[in-house]
Amino acid sequence: MSISPDLAEVARNARTASRALAIATQATKDAALHAMAEALVARSDELLRANAEDVARAEADGTPANIIDRLRLTPERLEGMAQGLRDVAGLADPVGEVVRGGVLPNGLELRQVRVPFGVVGMIYEARPNVTADAAGICLKSGNAVLLRGSSSARSSNAAIVTVLRDAVASAGLDADVVQLVPGDTHESVKELMRARGLVDVLIPRGGAGLIRSVVEESMVPVIETGAGNCHVYVDAAADLDKALAIVLNAKTHRTSVCNAAESLLVHADVADAFLPRVVAALQERDVTIHGDDAFTSYEGVVPATDDDYAEEYLSLDIAAAVVPDIDAAIDHIRRYSSAHSDAIVTDDQRAARRFVAEVDSAAVLVNASTRFTDGGEFGFGAEIGISTQKLHARGPMGLPEMTSTKYVVVGDGHVR
Amino acid sequence: MSISPDLAEVARNARTASRALAIATQATKDAALHAMAEALVARSDELLRANAEDVARAEADGTPANIIDRLRLTPERLEGMAQGLRDVAGLADPVGEVVRGGVLPNGLELRQVRVPFGVVGMIYEARPNVTADAAGICLKSGNAVLLRGSSSARSSNAAIVTVLRDAVASAGLDADVVQLVPGDTHESVKELMRARGLVDVLIPRGGAGLIRSVVEESMVPVIETGAGNCHVYVDAAADLDKALAIVLNAKTHRTSVCNAAESLLVHADVADAFLPRVVAALQERDVTIHGDDAFTSYEGVVPATDDDYAEEYLSLDIAAAVVPDIDAAIDHIRRYSSAHSDAIVTDDQRAARRFVAEVDSAAVLVNASTRFTDGGEFGFGAEIGISTQKLHARGPMGLPEMTSTKYVVVGDGHVR
């Protein structure tokens, strides 16, 4: 399969635009971000009209109410998008940061410096706010972005990109640093995945199916984001009040997010004390527990299958099991975890140390809810996604994670 | 295509072995490296016997002498491999390094810590010394390694791995941290590229064809290494004595390496002064110059085609052109460079600054030979390859580049 002339042209324009953006000053980029924020608010009428088309189409198609809610823009949500752009303007510019540097024994100066990737492709679903978020983060990190949102949001995304491009141009940057991928068929996603050399990095954001297909099929390097089968392990030495609070927070604070807990493991030594409390508290919050034999002895708990332990429910469901010891907990997590965020609740220093060393996930938490794995909570100020791969970036990705580096070597006629 | 049971078993054993290795102390790993070094020397007879089989087979196949030379082991080369392992033992352990850390406003402690990838796949050609180098670097960085060398070196590689595994086991580590990929057909390489989940990272080292096929076909994340169409640009403000020394060094110091120069660009203002000198000096060293019209007016210079400017000769050939200004030089490099290492020779600070900012290569050099882009020269002590991709690592990769990170979050019952 080849690249369509439309995509090739868009990508080439992005490359050209990216070169000027890569050496733009922070002041210029921040001015563009503020202009983008103002434009989203000033032109909210046309954005809401475009969004109403998407919502009407979705309703006519019988789309579930929760999906339509995610699709819908309101003046408040537009203001939120604008504030997100202003927040990005307030962050430090990662481009040009000297990561390490010094003088070599032969007198050569060596510096490793952050530089933009160049052209970033974003493939994402549903929420149109991602369009503005991604454009802002890419612009501040010096990258041109090719946006491929879901077709259900096509009118909204087109309108948002039009508004953002006008604002970018008004600030003196090339509007082609923000572009939509032409076409909204599945073929256009496939093409983007084959645009090696035209696109430097692809970032899929969305459901597990989308991410898996991009990761497996893409010839462009991918940063994998998002899937989260997160565990809370309540150790023998846990403070059970804290354990209860953490389980409830991790499971019910927000169920549709990747850092929500999907599995609960309880050490056998505290099962008798903890299970009655956690079962009652979860059920009181309408959580369905899919449990092993120890859990199904409580009323209302349904038996768990192997699939339940592997499931990312993103709903008021949790898989649960009692484990004989911390080794079994770690083994269970190694087998089923998506390596996003896994937590231990314990007051035992040795147990905490073992869990941290032996659970190989993007975030390992001790006595804290899995919900803390988040760019905002980590103080990054903006987040393009949460990487669950080991290459390049792992965990919440802020502005520095949206850059590469290059080595600058300065001599005075040095030869080997 | 599925994964063969043989590869799946090897990979699973590597995963298991990698878990203990990931938490092994530096002392244990260094003891293993020293044992590996000693074993290469102590068992040199069996290694040389195995290598003689490969050499005899290559000779019977009519393999060119320079390839046979790369394949051949000698007591000196074995001592060199052993010394490489001892050098790696002397380097700092990247695992456990706190990359950043602090306390969040809510009291959560946040640390980003280096951890091994887990299981690394190496696909490489010809030289059997890569087998020991890769095993040592992977072991020190806490990674199990699956080695897939070229079939022409199969007896040597099998013998080296046997010796290294015995040494690893003698130091108390699981021998399965170093394994050969079973089978030496092309299918076994394809399988390795599909072993997503079993292998965390693939690193191809070798010719452009090998690297391109791995990069395009692999479902396992890849770190691309090696291809180098490196440029030297002699600016209008160059010190021509230094420029000549740098061109000669970059082209002729070693021709078969990726950081050798393959293209020479000369600013028109210094063409009359520089071309006679550089043409004569290169020809004196038996370099064939493939030049544009300005160069072909000198005797012995052959006309360059577009392909010449794109070529990684790895031989005593160089493509050459005169450019009207630095913009044309930068444009030429953007069009043809493999983005490995590109150098400017100039005493003009503004020209140097522009070149550094606008040439987006893994290494950009000012008044220094491209030959300096090298892990040893950069002071990394060991190098697994030179990355020419933008994700994860760019430029020479030392031990830290062979790791991922994880976030460790420690609270006291923290919930959102």
pLDDT one-digit tens code per residue, B319-350: 999 999 999 999 999 999 999 999 999 999 99
- Collect all residues of chain B within an 8 Å Cβ-Cβ radius of residue A117: 390-391
Given an 8 Å threshold on Cβ–Cβ distance, is A416 in contact with B366? no
**Rounded to an integer, what distance in angstroms lies between the CA atom of residue A221 and that of residue A404?**
13
**Tokens standing for residue B416:** 């959102």
Amino acid A185: pLDDT: 80
Q: Residues B185, B85: one domain?
A: yes
- Collect all residues of chain B within an 8 Å Cβ-Cβ radius of residue A200: 390
Q: Residues A237, A274: one domain?
A: yes
Mean pLDDT of all residues in chain B? 95
Torsion of CA B341, B345, B348, B349, to 10 degrees: 30
Q: What are the start-end ranges of the E strands in B75-129?
A: 98-103, 109-116, 119-124
Mean pLDDT of A99-117: 97
Whether the pTM exceeds 0.80: the reply is yes
CA distance A79 to chain B (A): 24
Q: Which of A307, A247, A249 is nearest to A279 (CA)?
A: A247
Q: Is B189 contained in some domain?
A: yes
Which of A253, A345, A352 is opposite residue B416, by nearest beta carbon? Answer: A253
CA distance B340 to chain A (A): 10
**Which pLDDT band holds residue B188 (cuts at 50, 70, 90)?**
confident
Best mutation target, A216, A331, A360, A361, to test chain B (most B CBs within 10 A): A360
Given an 8 Å threshold on Cβ–Cβ distance, is A364 in contact with B110? no
Q: Residues A117, A32: one domain?
A: yes
DSSP code for A206 = S
Cα A44 to the center of its chain, rounded Å: 26
Q: Which of B76, B344, B95 is nearest to B234 (CA)?
A: B344
**Rounded to an integer, what distance in angstroms lies between the CA atom of residue B108 and that of residue B112?**
13
Best mutation target, A409, A410, A412, to test chain B (most B CBs within 10 A): A409
Q: What are the start-end ranges of the E strands in B253-360?
A: 261-267, 288-291, 302-303, 317-323, 341-345
Highest mean pLDDT among B121-125, B201-205, B221-225, B244-248: B244-248
Given an 8 Å threshold on Cβ–Cβ distance, is B410 in contact with A352? yes
Nearest chain B residue to A217 by CA: give it.
Answer: B219
Give the 3-state secondary structure of residue B179: strand
Per-residue b or e along B244-256, where b marks 16 or more CB atoms closer than 10 Å to that residue's CB: bbbbbbbbbbebe
Q: How many domains does chain B have?
A: 2
Which of B219, B358, B372 is opposite residue A108, by nearest beta carbon? Answer: B372
**Rounded to an integer, what distance in angstroms lies between the CA atom of residue B343 and that of residue B322?**
15
Given an 8 Å threshold on Cβ–Cβ distance, is A245 in contact with B415? yes
Q: Residues A238, A339: one domain?
A: yes
Amino acid B21: pLDDT: 98
Q: What is the pLDDT of residues B26-48, one digit of tens each?
A: 999 999 999 999 999 999 999 99
Q: What is the pLDDT of residues A4-32, one digit of tens each?
A: 899 999 999 999 999 999 999 999 999 99
pLDDT > 70? residue A125 = yes
Sheet holding B261-267, edge to edge: A98-103, A109-116, A403-414, B363-368, B341-345, B230-234, B261-267, B317-323, B288-291, B302-303
pLDDT > 60? residue B1 = no
Mean pLDDT of A254-273: 96
Amino acid A210: pLDDT: 85
Q: What is the pLDDT of residues A380-411, one digit of tens each?
A: 988 899 999 999 999 999 999 999 999 999 99
What are the phi and psi torsion angles at A152 (to 5°)? -65, -20
Which of A221, A250, A360 is opposite residue B406, by nearest beta carbon? Answer: A360
Amino acid B68: pLDDT: 92
Show the DSSP H helices in B171-287 as ranges.
186-193, 208-217, 240-252, 271-284
Show the DSSP H helices in A184-316 as ranges.
186-193, 208-217, 240-252, 271-284, 293-296, 306-310
Q: Is B399 contained in some domain?
A: yes
Cα B174 to the center of its chain, rounded Å: 27
Share of chain B above pLDDT 70, in %: 100
**Rounded to an integer, what distance in angstroms lies between the CA atom of residue A356 and that of residue A307?**
26
Q: Residues B71, B88: one domain?
A: yes
The CA-atom distances, in angstroms, between A363 and each of A239, A287, A339, A369, B335 are 21, 25, 8, 11, 41
Q: Residues B212, B286: one domain?
A: no
**Which pLDDT band holds residue B315 (cuts at 50, 70, 90)?**
very high
Which of A200, A368, A415 is opposite residue B245, by nearest beta carbon? Answer: A415
CATH number of the domain encompassing residue A188: 3.40.605.10
Name the pairing type of β-strands A403-414 and B363-368. parallel
Q: Residues A188, A235: one domain?
A: no
DSSP code for A270 = G
Given an 8 Å threshold on Cβ–Cβ distance, is B391 in contact with A395? no
Share of chain A above pLDDT 90, in %: 87
Q: How many CA atoms lie within 13 A of B203 on its CB side?
A: 29
Given an 8 Å threshold on Cβ–Cβ distance, is B104 in contact with A377? yes
DSSP β-bridge partners for residue A147:
A122, A180
Element (H, E) at B395: strand B395-397
Lowest mean pLDDT among A6-10, A333-337, B65-69: B65-69
- Collect all residues of chain A within an 8 Å Cβ-Cβ radius of residue B200: 390
Q: Which of B211, B55, B37 is nearest to B133 (CA)?
A: B37
Q: Residues A216, A274: one domain?
A: no
Cα A208 to the center of its chain, rounded Å: 12
**Rounded to an integer, what distance in angstroms lies between the CA atom of residue A209 and that of residue B46?**
51
pLDDT > 90? residue B267 = yes
| Beta carbons within 8 Å of B47's beta carbon, 6+ residues apart | B40, B73, B78, B156, B159, B160, B163
Q: Residues B209, B329: one domain?
A: no
pLDDT > 80? residue B131 = yes
Given an 8 Å threshold on Cβ–Cβ distance, is A390 in contact with B360? no
CA distance B166 to chain A (A): 26
pLDDT > 60? residue A412 = yes
- Collect all residues of chain B within an 8 Å Cβ-Cβ radius of residue A407: 362-364, 373, 378, 394-396
Mean pLDDT of all residues in chain A? 95
**Rounded to an integer, what distance in angstroms lies between the CA atom of residue B312 and that of residue B262?**
6
Q: Which of B384, B329, B397, B330 is nearest to B130 (CA)?
A: B384
Q: Between A and B, how many CB-CB pairs are < 8 A?
A: 213
Amino acid A199: pLDDT: 96
Q: Is B386 contained in some domain?
A: no
| Beta carbons within 8 Å of B145's beta carbon, 6+ residues apart | B14, B119, B120, B121, B122, B134, B135, B138, B139, B177, B178, B179
State the residue range of the domain holding A79: 5-224+392-410
Which of A372, A411, A415 is opposite residue B414, by nearest beta carbon? Answer: A372
Q: Residues B117, B15: one domain?
A: yes
Q: Is B378 contained in some domain?
A: no
**Which pLDDT band holds residue A1 (cuts at 50, 70, 90)?**
low
3-state helix, strand, coil in chain B (%, to 5): 45, 20, 30
Mean pLDDT of B224-248: 95
Given an 8 Å threshold on Cβ–Cβ distance, is A362 in contact with B406? yes
Mean pLDDT of B218-223: 91
CA distance B377 to chain A (A): 8
Amino acid B133: pLDDT: 95
Amino acid A227: pLDDT: 81
**Which pLDDT band holds residue B227 (cuts at 50, 70, 90)?**
confident
Q: Residues A220, A312: one domain?
A: no
Given an 8 Å threshold on Cβ–Cβ distance, is A405 in contact with B394? yes
Query: In this structure, are residues B107 and B412 in contact, taking their beta carbons and an 8 Å threshold?
Result: yes
**Rounded to an integer, what distance in angstroms lies between the CA atom of residue B192 and that of residue B195?**
5
CATH number of the domain encompassing residue A346: 3.40.309.10
Amino acid B67: pLDDT: 87
Q: Is B382 contained in some domain?
A: no
Element (H, E) at A36: helix A26-42
pLDDT > 90? residue B256 = no
Q: Is B383 contained in some domain?
A: no
CA distance A150 to chain B (A): 24
Which region, left, alpha or beta, applies to residue B68 given φ > 0 means left and ψ of -120 to 50 means alpha? alpha
Handedness of CA A265, A268, A271, A274 (dihedral sign): negative
Q: Residues B235, B364: one domain?
A: yes
DSSP β-bridge partners for residue B59:
none
Count, residues in chain B? 416
Quick check: ipTM above 0.85?
A: yes
| Beta carbons within 8 Å of A356's beta carbon, 6+ residues apart | A344, A364, A366, B408
Q: What is the pLDDT of residues B370-404, one digit of tens each?
A: 999 999 999 998 889 999 999 999 999 999 999 99
Amino acid B140: pLDDT: 98
**Which pLDDT band holds residue A154 (cuts at 50, 70, 90)?**
very high
Q: Is A335 contained in some domain?
A: yes
Q: Is B105 contained in some domain?
A: yes
**Rounded to an integer, what distance in angstroms lies between the CA atom of residue B352 and that of residue B346?**
7
